[in-house]
Structure 1
Amino acid sequence: MSDTTIRNGVSFEETDSNVAAYRDAAERGDAPILPSERLWGFWEFTYANSALAIATWAFLIGGSVGLFVGPKEGIAAIVIGNIIGVVLTALATTCMTGRYGVEQFVALRSQFGYNGTRLVYVLAVVVLTMGWLAVLAMMFGRSIDGLIALSDGGQASPTGIKMMISAILAILVTWFVVAKGPTSIKFFNMVISPALVILMGVMLYLILSKHSFGELMTLPALDPPFEDKHLNFIIAVEVNLAAGFSWWPYIGNLARLTKNERTAFWPNILGIFGAAALGEIVGLLAAVALGESDPTIWMTKIAGPAVGVVALLFVAFANMTSMANILYTSIVGLRQVGTESVRRIPWGTILFLFCLIPLGLVVFYPQMYDGFFIFLVWTSALNSALAGIGIADYFFLRGQKLDMRELHAPQENGAYRFVGGFNPIGLVALAAGFGVYVWIFNPQTLASLSVFKFVTASIPSCVVAGLVHYGLSRRFATGKGWGGYPGN
């Protein structure tokens, strides 16, 4: 005998085998997770996303801030940019996944359609991950190059052949490990993250042992590009807005494991914002105190050879775990949103194909590392617009209501099919937000309009994308019966 049950809007016959199948589907993202089956309360989620945010890239971002402004302005830029970016990103992603337990890119079908979601995934996740893999691999390579220089008394060569070979090796080892199945996520949370906090504390202690806090606050920027200090400060804020918005592809799926909507949102303030800001501030202070924004160089300067060797070894290892983590999660997601032909590609093969572009960047464009903030800021042109669309759609157009049956049913004739699986309104809004961003501020050249100094570029991008999506949806989507909006 079996009973018909509805779980988060998905109906099925409640037998033991079907319950087990449902749980497996929920873990893969094919079905929503019930509140009773979720793992994290407030403090568990705070720790989980703190572990994600405490990573070696925070040192890089903080060092990049030091290129534009000194510590006093830099700390302000880190706090302002990150808090705004993280709050808007969390509103756009974690609230809906935390309420319904739905996989983030399944929920995104309500905004872009099932084919539009695939396009967004490639732009926002695949491209971002490829860039981060290259940057982290080069950081690994520079750490190994620095270790060799320390051991033989030679001179480090950050763009030399030893760096390149080590970076290539890092990508290939990451591919091999992930191809075998383990993701290192649990190990990263339990071991690497607390150790990185200790490393940050040691670095901060060493900095303050050589410079008083008052002295640090008077130090100038390393290489400000403009004479206008206000413009340099706003660029630093923009770098940190980009850092905050860069969490858009990831934190929604973490939040689906939380007990409720409030638990999904508020820990991001303590976890993502707090942990990332801590790492950035350490990177900023070290950069301006030692005159070098690259953590693989300033660690050896401040710590000396013995401690420097330990620090560089740890940074190299931490980068490998971060690379395995983001590669695994990106490919799992790619197989989730991909076509049947993509899902048929063997696991190890699709991983290797994914690694080809990062390998090419390491070999042919190692300069990306020194100007990586340019890559980071480019991603904000997309992520800030996505956040604006998400807020407008979920809160203002749908009143925080999603149809779980329609999201998980066959999409070809469902409520969220839009036009051939694409929502043209969402894509137009995304293009509008992206266009506004690069019109106000060009990340490649740092050229900007005068209004940039007062509103940044990410905030207008977010607002314009949200307004375009809201206005066009209200005007056209309801009349055409698109997207299951209230009133259709």
Structure 2
Amino acid sequence: MASSNQRSTVEREALAGRLPILSGERVYSTYTSFLWTCCTFSAATWAFLIGGYLPAVGDWRLGAVGYAIGMIIGMAVVTLASGGPTFKYGTDVVDSAKPSMGYRGAVIPLFGLLATLLGWSYVLEALTARGAANVVATITSTSSTSLPHEHLVICVGLVVLVLAWLITVKGPKLFERLNGYVGPLHMLITVLMLGVLVHRYGIGTLWIKQLPAGQMLTHDRLQGMALAVEFGASNAMTWWPVIGGLTRLAKRRRHVVGPTVIGAGILGAAFVSSVAALAAISAGTPDPTIWMISLAGPVLGTIVMSVVLTANVATMVVMMYLSAVSIQQVRILARIRWDVLLALMLTPGIYFAFRTQWLLSEVMTWLSYNGVMFVGIVGITFVDFYFLRKEEIDPAHLFNAYGKYAYWGGVNWVAMLIIALSTWGYLALYDPVTSASSFSFRYMGASFPGVILSGIAYLVAAKFILKPLGKGSYSGSSGTSKASAEGQTGTIKVAL
């Protein structure tokens, strides 16, 4: 940290990056402040896109209910697995994974985190750029394939990058305040769109509306429910890096699980996606940039779409902040100034501003698989923190390559094997891109059995392999730092 003047400019280098955040420095002091951040993050354009595809499970009502069930249960489990240790000790989510993964083995969750957050950040840039340009094209009745249209897409994409940098560089205090306005506004326009649908079609008509039979993935109601629940559960798995990064900013334990489940699971995902499902059926397209204007009209539709696009920027800010914190695990990047580091991470977005169509068609397919690896990580980190370590880790050793969590050369190969097997098992049950599934998928899904089996496998392996070999410091408690349940981490000296 340089001078006091620089501290006011970069907000103490965004709370000192990945160093443990003390209770007095945490920005989420109320229940609603954390809830609205979770809500805003979950209710970006992808919530409307997911909702547009929920009717494809055979019945939009099954899709909405199943998706909500998967998200609510999944968010509760993921929040405990990822947010428990990061809240208690104020550490970065990748650091909190080191007790179970090993000091160097944590590169696996780090890769998953960066692939998820950076990948989706650039996708949001593309969605925002093309969405804004599509709105302009609809209002002005111009072609969406013309050269001026593409120029507008590029300009909006570049503006989004600049806005994301300007907000993120100030640290979490600014985006906490921003999301306090964006979240409620997003819920308001979603309620408004529901009102437009009810006024135009009536509740009775909306309740029985369905996609044409030829556009459905299945006509088996049990299979349809399994698909919907899996959509929610797999979406929740990708929250592992997000929740862990955000809960270290919360001051009180009682503000951890509730805001994530309600904000992300119920309001941000379930409610928004349900309205989007009805709108997609009614308008005949899952594309929110089209149905928002066609249903609400050019004026109101433009206002609604503007709020959604604003939420995209707010969500992108959160993801870039979390990515920049965790990427400081790479020692050379930890020495770079906060504002410069963010600029470097946003630089690839300049290229993607010129290739938005390619990004949306190619990268989003790959990103459909990015939540698969978190299934094993969620199961392992949950069992490790609550069952094996009894919610006690030694924060100083998270920064020491030769400390308690060294395992074999810094890698817990037992955890690595379980993650690999859980990934293989998930894909054997269900392919998220093609929707191909095994017979057993219709009865148990893929994410939840993957999490449970991974956790059980790690619990057994710890008892019969890791503890007898003295790996992972499971049996000793000496030197273990005890932090207060209310996030009072104290002063922790770390070896960097």
Q: TM-score, normalised by structure 2?
A: 0.83
Instruction: Return closer, same or farther for 1:445/1:50 CA change in 2, 3 Å cut-off.
Output: closer
Does the aligned pair in 1 maintain the 2:41–2:311 contact within 8 Å?
no
CA gap 1:74/1:373 in 2 versus in 1, 3 angstroms: farther
Q: Which runs of 5+ in 2 are unaligned?
A: 1-11, 478-496
Aligned to 1:116: 105
Gaps of 5+ in 1: 1-22
The separation in 1 between residues aligned to 2:443 and 2:469, in whole angstroms, is: 39
Equivalent of 2:319 in 322, 326, 331 = 326
SS at match of 1:249: helix
Give the structure 2 partner of residue 188 of structure 1.
Answer: 178
| Cα distance in structure 1, aligned partners of 2:248 and 2:426 | 30
The answer to whether the aligner puts 1:145 opposite 2:138 as a matched pair is no
Residues 417 and 132 from structure 1, CA distance in 2 versus in 1: closer, same or farther, beyond 3 angstroms?
Answer: same
- Tell me by how many angstroms 1:367 deviates: 6.1
The one-letter code sitting in structure 1 at the alignment partner of 2:244 is G
- Report the counterpart of residue 227 of structure 2 in structure 1: 235
Select between 293-302 and 273-282 the one with higher mean Cα deviation.
273-282
Query: For 2:307 and 2:281, how far apart are their aligned partners in 1?
Result: 23
| Structure 1: distance between partners of 2:327 and 2:235 | 23
Cα RMSD between the aligned structures?
A: 3.2
Indicate how the Cα distance of structure 1 residues 456 and 311 shifts in structure 2: closer, same or farther if over 3 A, else same.
same
Is it true that 1:287 corresponds to 2:280 in the alignment? yes
Using the TM superposition, give the Cα deviation of residue 475 of structure 1 relative to its aligned residue in structure 2, in angstroms: 1.6
The answer on whether the counterparts of 1:128 and 1:379 sit within 8 Å (CA) in structure 2 is yes
Q: CA deviation at 1:141?
A: 2.3
* Paired residue secondary structure (2:190): helix
1: distance between equivalents of 2:184 and 2:164? 25
Aligned pair 1:212/2:205, yes or no?
no
Percent of aligned pairs sharing the same letter? 25
Distance verdict in 2 for CA 1:104–1:67, change over 3 Å: same
Q: Distance in 1 between matches of 2:124 and 2:53?
A: 15
- Residue 115 of structure 1 and its aligned partner are, at CA, apart by 1.6
Query: Which of the numbers 248, 251, 261 marks the counterpart of 1:256?
Result: 248
Q: Confirm or deny that 1:413 pairs with 2:402.
A: yes
- The structural deviation recorded for 1:157 is 4.7
Indicate whether 1:132 and 2:117 are aligned.
no
- Distance in 2 between the 1:40 and 1:176 partners? 25
Please tell me the residue identity of whatever aligns with 1:234: A
Aligned to 2:4: none
- CA distance in 2 between partners of 1:36 and 1:162 (Å): 43
**Whole-Å Cα distance in 2 between the matches of residues 360 and 354 of structure 1?**
12
State whether structure 2 residue 266 is matched by structure 1 residue 274.
Answer: yes
Distance in structure 2 (CA, Å) of the matches to 1:311 and 1:152? 17
What corresponds to 2:61 in structure 1?
A: 72
CA contact (8 A) 2:382 2:455 kept: yes
Task: Determine the C-alpha separation between the residues in 1 that align with 2:169 and 2:471.
Answer: 43
Letter in 1 for 2:198: L
Quote how far apart the aligned CAs of 1:320 are.
2.4
Q: 1:219 to 1:25 in 2, by over 3 A?
A: closer
Equivalent residue, structure 1, for 2:483: none
Do 1:129 and 1:326's aligned partners in 2 also have CA atoms closer than 8 Å?
yes
1:239 is displaced (CA, Å) by 1.5
CA deviations on 1:178-198 (whole Å, 9 max, x unpaired) are 686566513431322222112
Superposition deviation, residue 36 in structure 1: 10
Between the two proteins, the alignment pairs up a number of residues equal to: 461
Given residue 446 of structure 1, which amino acid in structure 2 is its aligned partner?
A: S
User: Does the 8 A contact of 1:384 with 1:458 survive in 2?
Assistant: yes
Q: For 1:350 and 1:257, how far apart are their aligned partners in 2?
A: 21
CA–CA distance in structure 2, aligned partners of residues 365 and 346 of structure 1: 29
Q: CA deviation at 1:86?
A: 0.6
Contact residue 138 and residue 167 of structure 1 kept, 8 A: no
Output the CA distance in 2 between the equivalents of 1:72 and 1:108.
38
Partner of 2:78: 89
Alignment of structure 1 residues 252-401 onto 2, 5 Å:
252-276=244-268, 277-335=270-328, 337-339=329-331, 341-345=332-336, 350-351=341-342, 353-355=344-346, 366=357, 369=360, 377-401=368-392
Alignment-derived partner of residue 14 in structure 1: none
Can you list the C-alpha shifts for 1:89-134, whole angstroms capped at 9, x where unaligned? 01212222333444322221111122222331122x1111232123
Cα 1:359–1:60 change in 2 (3 A) is farther
Name the structure, 1 or 2, with higher relative contact order (CA <8 Å, separation 6+): 2
Q: Distance in 2 between matches of 1:44 and 1:161?
A: 38
Q: Are the aligned partners of 2:105 and 2:411 in contact in 1 as well (CA < 8 Å)? A: yes
Partner SS state of residue 116, structure 1: coil
